[in-house]
Amino acid sequence: MPAKTSPVKPDYPRIVSVPPGPKARKVIALDREWTSPSYIKEYPLVAAGGKGAMVEDVDGNRYIDWMAGIAVSATGYNHPKVVKAIHEAVDKFLHICGTDFYYESMARLCEKLAKTAPGRDKHRVFLTNSGTEAVEGAVKLARYHTKRPHLIAFEGAFHGRSYAAVTLTCSKVKYKAGFGPMLPEVSHLPYDNPYRGGDPMAAAHRLFESKVSPKDVAAVFMEPIQGEGGYIMPRPEFVKAWRRICDEHGILLVFDEIQSGAGRSGKMWACEHFGVEPDVLLTAKGLGSGLPIGAIVAKEKVMTWGQGTHGTTFGGNPVCCAAALATLDLVQDGLADNAARMGARLIAGLRQLQEKHPSIGDVRGTGLMIGVEFVKDRKTKEPAGELVGKLEQLAFRKGLLLLSCGKSVIRVAPPLVLNEHDVDAGLAVLDECLAELGG
């Protein structure tokens, strides 16, 4: 398939007014007056629009986007096919409620997602408004189906912020501090980190020996590539070991592919890189190219909850379904392949930068889900969090949008329409920033 690359004239990055410019400052002042103080706001980007992998701000500055609004804008900004599908859906009707009634786009999307699920089993699909809601529903489904209480998740995991999801989350303590009590019956175990080493399975054996019977465990929630925790790609043996444990004890293996799925890893689902099939797969983020939609994709034999046990007013609304159908078509029709190609180019370029800049300790990942870990010293591997903070800010002022994760990692998660210019020009900005910061 030919690459569906960014259709934009490569005249960016282009900084015409040091950001935040005058128009941006006005929006920021208004926002600061009225919005919840819990929002983060990484840097003062005030978006006005975009095309392909280029974002333009309200003052006319143009940026290369290497973060896609936290791995969401899968088809880039304003992809004509996605925009057309959304317009057509809007012109028909906005809502009827898929929990209680029928419409074609919902049935078609569920069919499409079920058919992309790895393995031969028949799958069924429940549509949600967000990733968190998919996690929340999967927790309920796992307990309902297995009639077991306990859940296992991993250190460094991010699964969302509602109560079940935030209980499974284990990336930063601020997500939990002051919000307790959390859900009972949840254990966290080490995730595999090839860069930092260690035996992640020893703690699992200890848990089952002394604390929790595997026969009481309903599900293991795993990100096949860890996102917020640091863009960490585990060794296949780790993922396979958990599949074996789940099979042995009748535990459901739930893959949270909310960040890693829908083509981002260079394949439809990241778990395909490991040859491991989950019982339940969760997706959201890039699925709707920016419209809010997620899904629980479960084996039919697992999705045993009865009529009315779980539902939603808005989940899978027709406009979001149209966006998701168009997105999945584009992913299957070349964007996953483009992610693999551009990802390889990015990794090669980042490894060249690693030779030049000692602060880059590790470059890892697959497709357009790449982690660049910064350290103070390559031997001690002490995280260089402060440098990453400065790098994000400086790169923004030079026209490259970055986003951090973990303790000191830049997560490279651009739109899947990224092209050679977006890779090479972004690498040049990164190089310049690191030289300036003495990294």
Ligand X SMILES: Cc1ncc(COP(=O)(O)O)c(C=O)c1O
List residues near ligand X by CB under 6 A: 70, 130-132, 135, 158-160, 223, 227-228, 256, 258-259, 284
Structure tokens belonging to residue 27: 């929006």
CB of 295 to ligand X, least distance (A): 12
- Our CB check for ligand X shows the closer of 252 and 423 to be 252
Residues whose CB falls within 8 Å of the CB of residue 286, separated by 6 or more in sequence, listed in order: 68, 71, 72, 73, 74, 261, 262, 263, 264, 327, 416
- Our CB check for ligand X shows the closer of 200 and 261 to be 261
CB of 131 to ligand X, least distance (A): 2
CB of 227 to ligand X, least distance (A): 4
Q: Are 153 and 159 in contact (CB under 8 A)?
A: yes
CB of 370 to ligand X, least distance (A): 15
Residues whose CB falls within 8 Å of the CB of residue 302, separated by 6 or more in sequence, listed in order: 141, 145, 252, 279, 280
- Our CB check for ligand X shows the closer of 183 and 212 to be 183
Residues whose CB falls within 8 Å of the CB of residue 55, separated by 6 or more in sequence, listed in order: 45, 47, 49, 62, 63, 65, 77, 401
Q: Is residue 231 left, alpha or beta, with left meaning phi > 0 and alpha meaning psi from -120 to 50?
A: left
- Our CB check for ligand X shows the closer of 135 and 142 to be 135
User: Could you give the CA distance from residue 118 to residue 278 in angstroms, rounded to a whole number?
Assistant: 8
Residue nearest ligand X, Cβ-based: 131
Cβ density class 2-29: b for 16+ within 10 Å, e for less: ebbbbebeeebbebeeebbbeebeebee
User: Could you give the CA distance from residue 414 to residue 335 in angstroms, rounded to a whole number?
Assistant: 12
What share of residues in the chain are helix, strand, coil (percent, to 5)?
A: 40, 20, 45
CB of 365 to ligand X, least distance (A): 15
Q: Are 262 and 287 in contact (CB under 8 A)?
A: yes
Torsion of CA 229, 233, 237, 239, to 10 degrees: 60
- Our CB check for ligand X shows the closer of 257 and 373 to be 257
Q: Are 347 and 158 in contact (CB under 8 A)?
A: no
CB of 17 to ligand X, least distance (A): 31
- Our CB check for ligand X shows the closer of 360 and 412 to be 412
CB of 158 to ligand X, least distance (A): 5
Beta strands 54-57; 47-51: pairing state: antiparallel
Query: Which stretches does DSSP call E strand in 250-359?
Result: 252-256, 280-283, 294-299
Nearest to 371 by CA among 341, 351, 395, 357: 351
CB of 171 to ligand X, least distance (A): 9
- Our CB check for ligand X shows the closer of 135 and 251 to be 135
Structure tokens belonging to residue 398: 């030079």
- Our CB check for ligand X shows the closer of 59 and 256 to be 256
Question: How far from chain centre, in Å, is Cα 288?
Answer: 13
- Our CB check for ligand X shows the closer of 12 and 238 to be 238
CB of 257 to ligand X, least distance (A): 8
